[in-house]
Structure 1
Amino acid sequence: MKHRFEVLDIFRGLFASLVFLFHLGPFANTPVLNNRFVENSDMFVDFFFVLSGFVIAYSYQSLANQTQFGLFLKKRFYRIYPLHLFMLLAFVGMEMAKNLLAPYIRVNNLVNPANNIYTFFTSLFLINSTPVPGVKDVSWNIPSWSISAEMMAYLVFGGLVVYLHRSGQFRARNAWYALTIVVSLTLLWSVSNSFRINYSFDYGFLRGILGFFTGVLCFNLFSHTHTGVREWPAAWFSVAEITALLLIGLSIYNGEAMKPWGAAFEILFFICIYTFSFEKGIISKALKSAKVLHRLGQYSYSIYMTHALLISLFNVLFIRILKFPPEAYSYLFLFNFLLIYFVSAWTYRHIEMRFQYKSPKKVHEGEIARK
């Protein structure tokens, strides 16, 4: 089966944009951003985890030995770490600039206790989604906790798949994946005696593993059923797509009531990803027809990783220096997003693509082509 999940990639871009609005909300004073839907859009991070498990399961369930496991981790590291490091250093630069500019403009949080040498190294080594003594909040590039959680999920997934192959238990893989979900959820339950999952710097790695393996099971269901289900009438898929999005929208809007039952979001995202993986409904067709949405999906990782810094810089320029009121974010958010979009286009081309893993064969072919 060779398939490009274009619609799911588009959703990655759309939901990354909603996470941007979530982080912009505290700077604003407008119903456009300060509403129940945007204020609970942090839960879309779990969509990324589930989707990541889905697409990784598509490509990497054949890992059978330590060499393949090492290559898998190397590829994933090259995919996520260069931009993470670039943004971490950018935040260090911003902290230095804040102190230089403080005599001339009003700077909020001149000294941010969360951004210190200790948390710099927890971010640098991607352990900022785990409980670390003395760390009491997210730090530096705030969204990067989820990159740490993603890397933890890769480690667990790759190690488990190799074990299943070597022990002859690969046919029972779905039972093992389900057990991993149960263990993650049980550990989260032990923290709060609820199904709440919206942790970040403390137990975010469990949240990431939970979502990731939910996505792995989702892909395996798709792989097992897609031939038969694909023959269903397109109208059925349209109804399923609309229903899935309505359920997600209602759950996000009622996020404060839903967050104690946050594991329910994993089920909703499972349903959404499975439904849209067929790309046969009316919403799928509409999304695929818009070229800009394909670009949004392509730049989604950069949008996610750059937006926190660009929100801060945008706020300094328009609110602190130019004296726009917070109410102006009712339209300024569009300009802020355009800035993020174009910066993300640059980081996608010059960081994400430039530093991605290239096999020795491809490097050799590239050298021949240049000659």
Structure 2
Amino acid sequence: MSINLNNELATKPHYPILDGLRGVAAIIVVTFHLTEPLGTGHLDILVNHGYLAVDFFFLLSGFVMGYAYDDRWNKMSVGSFFKRRIVRLQPMVILGMTLGAIGFYYTDSAIWPLIHTIPLWKMLFVLLIGYTILPVPLSLDIRGWQEMHPMNSVGWSLFFEYIANILYALWIRKFSKTALGILVVIAAIALAQLAITNGDVSGGWTLNIEQVRIGLTRTLYPFLLVYYFRVSRNPPELKMPFYGAAF
């Protein structure tokens, strides 16, 4: 079955513009994190809304779900779907956690207040949990930043992408267009409420009720929005020039 699925994927048009936009978004996220310590507050960071590029990744994920998988469930099992997604996502999870652990162990920095008090066994334990992309409780926060993935802080976004993928395979793909549209509206209202009450939509990387709510809210609206347009009409032509879309 996997061979047939691969052949079927190969016959679908590829959108190079999405690869380019994914690269632009990745550069924005990296720039945001590199310049974040240089700012005195939220508004004077070089790209102070650069974190929204993560939400763009969620949007792309929704497109991938609708475009690459939605018309193939008569030939693909849930297990096959999860296998494909694990092969696609998990290598980057493991690589990111490994590089983060190496950086943590060898870095002498005042911005990581707990770095000199963490025994090696505890760091390795957190690393092994990180390889599964499961979040760690605050009791295992070895960097002192209240992160669910201390070895690779940006791992929270992949955690929520996994959740979106699970919801899609087990639940969302079975929705009618009407039901899916209603879900999109609910997700949009939740995201608007978050932005209005918090002043932005930043957050999602701590394992507590409030931060998990933020992470789910940030993930579901862009994921559902693109998926809804995918099942409501033919795939878009995407003729917009790359530079126009990037800027």
Do both proteins adopt the same fold according to a TM-score greater than 0.5, normalized to the shorter chain?
yes
CA distance, structure 2, for counterparts of residue 3 and residue 65 of structure 1? 21
Q: Which of 21, 24, 32 is residue 31 of structure 2 equivalent to? A: 21
What is aligned with 1:242? none
SS in 2 for 1:39: coil
Q: How much does 1:90 deviate?
A: 2.2
- The Cα of 1:192 is off from its aligned counterpart by 8.6
1:148 to 153, 159, 162: 159
Cα deviations by residue, 1:145-179 (Å, 9 ceiling, x for unpaired): 111111111000111256x2xxxxx6x2x223234
Residue 230 of structure 1 corresponds to none
Instruction: Report the counterpart of residue 170 of structure 2 in structure 1.
Output: 159
Aligned: 1:87 with 2:92? no
- Deviations for 1:280-322, whole angstroms, at most 9, x for unmatched residues? x4x33x689xxxx9xxxxxxxxxxxxxxxxxxxxxxxxxxxxx
Of 125, 129, 137 in structure 1, the residue corresponding to residue 132 of structure 2 is 125
Single out whichever of 38-47 and 58-67 deviates more from structure 2.
Answer: 58-67
CA contact (8 A) 1:62 1:161 kept: no
Amino acid at match of 2:152: N
Cα gap change, 1:26 to 1:64, in 2 (>3 Å): closer
Query: Which position in structure 2 is the counterpart of 1:42?
Result: 51
Alpha-carbon distance in structure 2 between the residues aligned to 1:183 and 1:66: 31
Asked if the contact 1:145/1:200 (under 8 Å) is kept, the reply is yes
User: Aligned-pair distance for 1:85?
Assistant: 0.8
1:209 aligns with 2:220: yes
Percent identical residues: 19
Give how far 1:80 is off.
Answer: 0.8
User: Given residue 86 of structure 1, which amino acid in structure 2 is its aligned partner?
Assistant: L
Instruction: For residue 180 of structure 1, report the CA deviation from its aligned partner.
Output: 3.6
Distance 1:12 1:278, change over 3 A: same
Counterpart of 1:8 in structure 2 is 18
Contact 1:54 1:212 in 2 (8 A): yes
Equivalent-residue separation in structure 2 for 1:199 and 1:176 (angstroms): 28
Which stretch shifts more, 63-72 or 213-222? 63-72
Q: 1:122 to 1:223 in 2, by over 3 A?
A: farther
* TM-score of the pair, normalised by structure 1: 0.48
Determine which of 198, 213, 230 is the counterpart of 2:202.
Answer: 198
- Give the match for residue 67 of structure 2: 58
Superposition CA RMSD, Å: 3.9
Task: Judge conservation of contact 1:150–1:209 (CA < 8 Å) in 2.
Answer: no
**Amino acid aligned to 1:81:** Q
| Structure with the higher fraction of residues in helix conformation | 1
1:205 Cα deviation after fit: 3.5
Partner SS, residue 51 of structure 2: helix
3-state SS, counterpart of residue 41 of structure 1: coil
Q: Distance in 1 between matches of 2:187 and 2:133?
A: 19
Query: Normalization by structure 2: what TM-score?
Result: 0.69
Mapped partners of 2:172, 2:217: distance in 1: 18
1:206 CA displacement: 3.8
Contact kept? 1:22, 1:42, Cα under 8 Å: yes
Whether the 8 Å CA contact 2:195–2:201 is kept in 1: the answer is no
Q: Distance in 2 between matches of 1:193 and 1:209?
A: 17
How many aligned positions are there? Answer: 216
Gaps of 5+ in 1: 165-169, 227-276, 294-371
SS state at 1:40 partner? coil
Larger radius of gyration: 1
Matches within 5 A, 1:1-371: 2-28=12-38, 35=44, 38-64=47-73, 68-98=77-107, 102=108, 108-109=111-112, 111-112=114-115, 120=127, 123-128=130-135, 134=139, 136-138=146-148, 139-160=150-171, 164=174, 172=176, 174-182=177-185, 184=187, 194=197, 197-201=201-205, 202-203=211-212, 204-223=215-234, 226=236, 277-279=237-239, 281=240, 283-284=241-242
Higher relative contact order (CA 8 A, sep 6+): 1
Shift of 1:218: 3.0
